[in-house]
Structure 1
Amino acid sequence: MSGAGEAAAAPPLIALENLRKRYGGRGGAPAVEVLRGVSLTIEAGEFVAIVGASGSGKSTLMHLLGCLDRPSDGRYLFAGQDVATLDADALAWLRREAFGFVFQGYHLIATESAQENVEVPAIYAGLPEAERHARSRALLERLGLGDRLDHRPHQLSGGQQQRVSIARALMNGGRVILADEPTGALDSRSGAEVMALLEELADAGHTVIVITHDREVAAAARRVIEIRDGQVVADSGRAGPPAAPAMDGPPRAGAGRGREHQGPSLATELADACRAAWRVMWINRFRTSLTLLGIVIGVASVIVMLAVGLGTRQQVVAQASAFGANLLYMSSVGASSRIPGRSVTLADLQAVAELPQLAEVLPNVTGNKVVRFGEKDLQTYVRGTGAAMPEVQNWPVRLGGFFSAEDDRDLAAVAVLGHKLARDLLPDHPNPVGRRILIENVPFQVIGVMAEKGAAAGDQSYDDLLLMPFATAGVKVFGQREPTYTAMTVREGASVDAAEKAVDAVMFERHGIRDYRIGNAAAAIAAKAKTEDTMTLLLGLIAAVSLLVGGIGVMNVMLMTVRERTREIGIRMATGARRKDILRQFLTEAVLVSVVGGSAGVVIGLAVGGVLIAAGVPVIFSLRAIAGAFLCATATGLVFGFMPARQAAGLDPVVALSSE
């Protein structure tokens, strides 16, 4: 007896108390009252038809019953709990666990198959994939669509689409079936089949509420409630005891939820969002390709620009280092070399050579001269230098030998040719050693050919040089005994900066003024490297602009996507998606677009880099740059996709469902 008493005391499943709904009333416009104090109760297990003419308020009442909208006044109690006290997540739980919607327009997601449409509520309920597939397949087979599982809505007839809609309503149990004009878009035969299905569900214990204007359809129900001008004008009353006990009420706002009340797992939703996004991208592949173009160009440009910049930097540094990174260079400043007692002299160099920080002091006298062999004349750069030059500047001899200190003392008329000069001056002599040439009509014997050297960045190529002993050049060619400039090698282990300061101290003591200039090769290399770094950064920033433009393209296409898929968003909300589920789904889609574009950009960037390497362009790929470009592309999707995703999550379910 106590059990019977508890059952009698249980609250009705649905209780409406003076429910009102108004629209408008803002900005001075008068409010339109659609529902005017509706009060009724519906017990669990009833089969109810709410009938009324178009504009009577019956569809608005269904939206309120299904928690798609909120009343302006009055109370809606579901299983004894005031729905107004529930937060957005609890309302989503009700739509997911308690209600199943069957719409006149079917409201199936166009890009999903029949089975995938049926599974949507289960995804948001967090049902494991295997169980989801098995249940959806069983429901569709039960409704006679076992051979239509993979068909999309446009491949199904109206009756078949409505049966898919019913299967979706039953996916999570469908304790309360809300059917809005379920036969309105069907022929008479299909309509009769759908009503027969609803009667079977009512017989099985489901609470079925049909919204219709067709009194023949309403006659199939066991209770008919008539609504007119937003008020209940007739109610045939409940026929018989409820066929099933009332379900548990929804979770309270902010209350803890059991496992069955949780939303989808992150992995499940991400997988579903990626699958849905990929399908939409493929269907709109031309538009997607144009959207991806900005991301692809941006990522590929960043990778290629930075790779070329790094390659060029390394090449410049390597070239500069090849001429000696531990070198100091000294020369007279301005007109001082023409003023007696003011130029850098050999006596100065002897004093400097005594510094412990220096290993070699190499005077040089240079100038352009005409060199002749046979009938061939060439203007070239002649350099008188010391015997230690090959060691000082890491420049080996390829053929023959280099002159000695004795040659320098004896004013020997010997010359060593640069690689290119030997080829251009004596093209018919692969080995010119022993040949005699004329320099300003002074005969010199070629004793060697230097190895190919190239040029330090911005300097004349060393391969065009003609080298001779310093004293010989000063007396026989240039008529000057003082050096044009001096190269000094810093001893191993000594600081280049300290050596430069020591040289400056000696020279300042001897001259009293700084009428000389001292250059640091290491500092020059660092300056060139910094210049290249600056250029690389500039190129990278230019490339990053493409990435930014690509991000704006992603945002634009996502805004279009939200607009195009507004009804789909409404369907997902009606089947139990929370606002954060919609936000996460569209954000995932934006990121997926960027990830695909970023991946394509990486591949294209590496391919372009490979072509440049084959063409002889210095290229060095940086794993950090590649990873950075890809992560920036992903972040671009996240940042620029947030606003469209937030807009999607903020849509009103009723407005979204009614969109075209």
Structure 2
Amino acid sequence: MAPALIELRDIVKSYPSGGTPVRVLHGITLAIREGEFVAIVGQSGSGKSTLMNILGCLDKPSSGEYLFAGRDVARLDADALAALRRGTFGFIFQRYNLIGNETAAENVEIPAVYAGMARRERSARARALLERLGLRDRVDYRPTQLSGGQQQRVSIARALMNGGRVILADEPTGALDTKSGREVMAQLHELHRAGHTIILITHDHTVASEAERVIQLRDGEVVDDRRTAPARAPAPAPQPAAPSATRTSLLPDVIEAVKMALRSLRTNLFRTVLTLLGIIIGVGAVIAMLALGDGSKAQVLSRIEAMGTDLLVVRPGARNVRTRDESAALVAEDAEAIGELPNVRESVGEHARGVTVRYGENDYVTLGTGATANYARARNWSTARGTFFSDADVRGVAPVAVLGKTVVDNLFRRGENPVGRYVLINNIPFQVIGVLAPKGANSSGTDMDDTILMPLSTARMRLFGRNYVRVITVQVADMEQVEETEAAIAALLTERHRKVDFQIRNNASLMETASETQNTMTMLLGSIAAISLLVGGIGVMNIMLVSVTERIREIGIRMATGARMLHILLQFMTEALVVCSVGGAIGVAGGLAAAWVAGRLGSPVVFSLPPVAMAFGSAFLIGLLFGFLPARRAARMDPVTALATE
């Protein structure tokens, strides 16, 4: 006699039921040898299906010993049991247990996928098995396109995919007509002759009589164990189909998981699209909001830069102190004294007031600014036409003016050259000697081109009648010493005025403050958009939980055919990642398109790679985080419970 391949010693199986466990198997002891054809027969409730689950390592006994080839199965963890099922057992179920969204060939390949067999090798083997079982023309059919007998033959091919040393057939003819049932039994006999150990579970004594050994169960106990045919010398046991190469990474598993994920998502296309929408909207909103926020920031900073970032602006009046003569605190001599300080490149005294300018029949109200000749150098403001007034013009109180672009547009005809023309400023004639290059709006939104510049001496004597200046603009040579220069100006003016009746504003610090403010606004916009991305992630988790619930039987099938916990975890995590990645990619395109449209409509927009990478990375991370809980739930399922779920 050959040594026992399967040996059960006093196997007991109980299930919890309230406070008192229900015992299903009562001390089963038996041995099955290599190459036997054994039928386990009994009525419903006799415990035969529970015994089959224990024999196939789908379930564990409550007590007793189960030895397979001398190896104590009770000592194996979940992954080791999965490896044993994958490499040794082949299951043929009464209800076929085929995965509906996969073809016959793909169903047959499942055990080889988890065994790590190369794609071409397993595809060729699956097609060969189906051809051997008479399904050559049905390899690309889905289960719903096959008859019951054909589906059962696909199930047999799947059981043989990795070798199928032991074939466990649970009521393989129960759902078939008489002819198909005879064909299945003939195939089991052929497998037995080929060396497979066959364990047939049935309630039909006629079917059981075809085995060479019949074990009868009643109420969880063996009541009869007899031979119906003499034991024959078994053929050599089939060897498991080994992987084509040693696996050294998870990459093949990941690739297969992506394929299965895409297949599953395609099956529920409408639900997949609805799930994608949350991620698409979230990612698109993040990208569009950040693009608009960065554009607004760039616009504000460019306006400040147009004013000059190397400038210190001195104005009359102490901070938070109001005096009656504060407007007269600064004079032109103060600007000249500041110009003598170290690190000061230019010091410009300015006096501005609203004026009415007329040319021909056109009147226009604008800002008239009297300044010294170095105004243009301090402001980095060039002329588009003509020239700027000179020191000689200032000393000679020359009635000359330089116009901003907005003033030119409102006074002169399109294409007309203002240089050399005379305009009336508050009814006093001035000759136009130049037109300023356009600068646009400043940080407060004021149009910087809506101005007329003239010599400070001319403005004081002919227009304003005042000797003081309203502002002194100081251009700093070295910005690294700007704080020392600011302190030197404050000390100089305090000494000259005998009091602090002025205030100094640093344009560089203004730019820093504006930048920080805009960053805060951008982060606020991004955070609001990120909330929608988070909501989309919650939607992904809910859909994945629904998917796991709907596919419990599929999970059981995969576990029965050798899937480890890692395989199940990887499959469902990959589905979540695929959804979020596809949604993220579409969201990126949508967000960029929305920002582009906003830009075309006049909103300031700045496109950059970091927001795009951040939004897509966030979508990927959300898939990872929100897909983990459903995937973990699927991976921890009990295969027996999963297979029994309708």
1:314 alignment partner, one of 289, 298, 302: 298
Structural mapping, 1:539-618, within 5 Å? 539-618=525-604
Question: Corresponding residue for 1:189?
Answer: 179
Contact 1:123 1:264 in 2 (8 A): no
Tell me the SS of whatever aligns to 2:200: strand
Give the AA of the match of 1:355.
L
User: Structure 1 residues 226 and 524 mapped into 2: Cα distance closer, same or farther (>3 Å)?
Assistant: same
Quick one: structure 1 residues 75 and 238, their matched pair in 2 at CA, closer, same or farther if it must change by over 3 Å? farther
Tell me, yes or no, if structure 1 residue 430 matches structure 2 residue 422.
no
Give the structure-2-normalised TM-score.
Answer: 0.94
Q: Report deviation, 1:515.
A: 1.6
- Distance, in Å, in 2 between the alignment partners of 1:186 and 1:428 is 93
TM-score normalised by the chain length of structure 1: 0.92
Listed one character per residue, the Cα deviations across residues 527-548 of structure 1 (whole Å, up to 9, x for unaligned) are 2222222211111212211221
Q: Distance in 1 between matches of 2:448 and 2:255?
A: 63
Give CA-to-partner distance per residue, 1:166-206, whole Å, 9 cap, x none.
00001111111111110111111111111111111111111
- Residue 14 of structure 2 corresponds to residue 22 of structure 1: yes
Contact 2:419 2:434 in 1 (8 A): yes
Match runs of 1:491-510 below 5 Å: 491=477, 495-510=481-496
Q: Gapped runs of 5+ residues in structure 1?
A: 1-7, 251-257
**1:317-396, aligned counterparts within 5 Å?**
317-333=301-317, 338-339=324-325, 343-396=329-382
- One-letter code aligned to 2:302: A
SS of match in other structure, 1:372: strand
The residue aligned with 1:534 is 520
Q: Which of 37, 54, 57 does residue 47 from structure 1 map onto? A: 37
1:139 aligns with 2:125: no
Q: CA deviation at 1:324?
A: 1.8
Supply the AA of the counterpart residue of 2:213: R
Amino acid at match of 1:12: A
Q: Deviations over 1:280-322 (max 9, x none)?
A: 1112111111111121122222222222322332232223212
Q: Distance in 2 between matches of 1:78 and 1:331?
A: 95
Cα distance per residue 1:42-77 (max 9 Å; x no partner) = 111111111111111111111111111111122222
- Secondary structure of the 2:358 match is strand
Deviation (angstroms), 1:621: 2.2
Q: Aligned equivalents of 1:464 and 1:437: distance in 2?
A: 15
2:160 maps to a residue whose letter is L
Q: Within 5 Å, which residues of 2 pair with 1:148-547?
A: 148-237=138-227, 239-241=229-231, 243-244=233-234, 266-333=250-317, 338-339=324-325, 343-427=329-413, 430-491=416-477, 495-547=481-533
2:78 matched residue in structure 1 = 88
| Higher mean displacement: 558-567 or 538-547 | 538-547
Q: Distance in 1 between matches of 2:418 and 2:323?
A: 36
Q: Secondary structure at 2:562's aligned position in 1?
A: coil
Once the two structures are superposed, residues 318-376 of structure 1 have per-residue CA deviations (whole angstroms, 9 ceiling, x without a partner) of 23212322111101116777439971223322321210211211110111122233443
Indicate the larger mover: 262-271 or 85-94: 262-271
Distance 1:242 1:457 in 2: 97
Measured after TM superposition, the shift of residue 613 of structure 1 is: 4.2
How much does 1:155 deviate?
0.8
Contact 2:311–2:476 (Cα < 8 Å) also in 1: yes
Q: Which amino acid is the alignment partner of residue 213 of structure 1? A: H
- The code of the aligned residue for 1:284 comes to N
- The separation in 1 between residues aligned to 2:630 and 2:556, in whole angstroms, is 15
**Pair 1:238–1:93, CA change in 2 (3 A):** farther
C-alpha separation between the residues in 1 aligned to 2:274 and 2:302?
A: 42
Residues 21 and 34 in structure 1, CA contact (< 8 A), matched pair in contact too = yes
CA distance in 1, matches of 2:480, 2:571: 63
* 1:6-51 deviation per Cα after TM superposition (whole angstroms, max 9, x unaligned): xx5x64111122211111145x2x2211111222111111111111
What secondary structure is seen at the aligned counterpart in 2 of 1:475?
A: helix
Alignment deviations for residues 378-424 of structure 1 (CA, whole Å, 9 cap, x no partner): 22211111112222212222233322222222222222221111221
- Deviation, 1:642, is 0.5
Q: Quickly say closer, same or farther: Cα 1:263–1:564, change in 2 above 3 A.
A: farther
Indicate conservation of the 8 Å contact 2:6/2:67, yes or no.
yes
- What pairs with 1:642-657 in structure 2 (closer than 5 Å)? 642-657=628-643
Match of 2:48 in 1: 58
Q: 1:243 to 1:566 in 2, by over 3 A?
A: farther
Q: Which moved more, 1:408-417 or 1:629-638?
A: 408-417
- SS of aligned partner of 2:430: strand
On the 8 A contact 1:337/1:344 being kept in 2, the answer is: no
- Judged with a 3 Å threshold, the aligned counterparts in structure 2 of structure 1 residues 413 and 538 are, in CA distance, closer, same or farther, namely same
SS in 1 for 2:495: helix
> For residues 486-514 of structure 1, what are the alpha-carbon distances to aligned partners after superposition, in whole Å with 9 as ceiling and x for unaligned?
11111257622222121112112223432
Q: Deviations over 1:452-504 (max 9, x none)?
A: 22121214212111211111112221221110001111125762222212111
Q: Give the counterpart of 1:107 among 75, 97, 105.
A: 97
Within 2, Cα distance between the matches of 1:341 and 1:318?
Answer: 30
What RMSD, in angstroms, separates the aligned Cα atoms of the two structures? Answer: 2.4
| Alpha-carbon contact 2:165-2:197 (below 8 Å) kept | yes
2:196–2:237 CA contact under 8 A, matched in 1: no
Q: Which runs of 5+ in 2 are unaligned?
A: none
Question: Quick check: 2:328–2:469 contact (8 Å CA) kept in 1?
Answer: no
- In structure 2, the partner of 1:4 is none
Distance between the aligned counterparts of 1:261 and 1:502, measured in 2?
78
Amino acid at match of 1:608: A
Amino acid at match of 2:255: A
- In structure 2, relative to structure 1, the CA distance for the partners of 1:38 and 1:336 (3 Å cut) is closer
CA distance in structure 1 between the aligned counterparts of 2:347 and 2:402, rounded to whole angstroms = 20
Contact 1:44–1:246, Cα closer than 8 Å, also in 2: no
For the residues of structure 1 that align with 2:332 and 2:375, how far apart are their CA atoms? 17
CA positional deviation for 1:260:
9.3
Distance (Å, rounded) in 1 between the aligned partners of 2:14 and 2:238: 30
User: Any conservation in 2 of the 1:13–1:247 contact (CA below 8 Å)?
Assistant: no
Q: How far apart in 1 are the matches of 2:415 and 2:237? A: 105
Select between 132-141 and 309-318 the one with higher mean Cα deviation: 309-318
* Structure-2 separation of matches of 1:304 and 1:603: 10
Identity of aligned residues (%): 53
In structure 2, the CA distance between the partners of 1:64 and 1:592, relative to structure 1 (3 Å rule), is same
Farther-moved stretch of structure 1 (360-369 vs 433-442): 433-442
